[in-house]
Amino acid sequence: MLKVLGRLLILLLAATLVAGVTYAVVQNVQFSLPGGRGGDGFGGQIAPGGGNANGSTAPDLAERPRGGRGQMLSDGEFRGGELEGGSVFGWVEVIKSLGVIAFVTAGVVLVQKTYARPRKPKKPAAGAQPGS
């Protein structure tokens, strides 16, 4: 049990390390972008419609339509689009994922078979004498 807890701790530490690096990179990217938020870390001030108050063409972050076609209501509820789920588009996403997996698997199997073929020992033809 202690062994499993130790492994779990190592796993969590590794995940925290990756998350920390990701956070640092994202912060760095935001600082270097024109119209970046530059300090507070929350609540960007980009306006919708392809232009900011400072003239930047960066898309508005604060007013962006997050989650595709969804809409946030004033009471905090989200309605519409992929926020509700159960749409036909959801099944298309599943099929797309399965398609990617099937495509890659087929490619790898094909490559494996191609490289495995020369290694197969040749069967002597029926009736052929040994050594001929």
Partner 1 sequence: MDALKRRNPNLTNLWVDVLVFAGMLAVFAPGLTGLLIHEWLGLAFGVTAGVHVLLHWQWIAGITRKFFTRASWGARFNYLLNAAIFIGFTVVIFSGVMESRFVLQTFGLNPPDERTWELLHRLSADLTLFLTALHIAVHWRWIWNWVKKLRRLPRRAPGTVSQPVLAAGPVKIED
Q: Which residues bind partner 1 (CB under 8 A)?
A: 4, 7-8, 11, 14-15, 18-19, 22-23, 26, 29-30, 37, 41-44, 46, 59, 61-62, 64, 66-68, 70, 72, 78, 82-87, 89-94, 97-98, 100-101, 103-105, 107-109
Nearer to partner 1, 71 or 124 (CB): 71
Nearer to partner 1, 32 or 129 (CB): 32
Q: How far apart (Å, rounded) are the C-alpha atoms in residues 49 and 26?
A: 23
Cβ neighbours of 52 (radius 10 Å): 19
What secondary structure letter does DSSP report for 92?
Answer: H
Shortest reach from residue 77's CB to partner 1, in Å: 10
Which among 85, 79, 51 has a CA at the least distance from the CA of 65? 79
Q: Decide: 26 and 33 in contact? Cβ < 8 Å.
A: no
Nearer to partner 1, 51 or 70 (CB): 70
Nearer to partner 1, 43 or 127 (CB): 43
Shortest reach from residue 5's CB to partner 1, in Å: 10
**Strand (E) or helix (H) holding 23:** helix 2-32
Shortest reach from residue 36's CB to partner 1, in Å: 9
Within 13 A of 3's CA, how many CA atoms are on the CB side?
0
Shortest reach from residue 29's CB to partner 1, in Å: 6
| Segments of the chain assigned E as strands | 71-72, 78-79
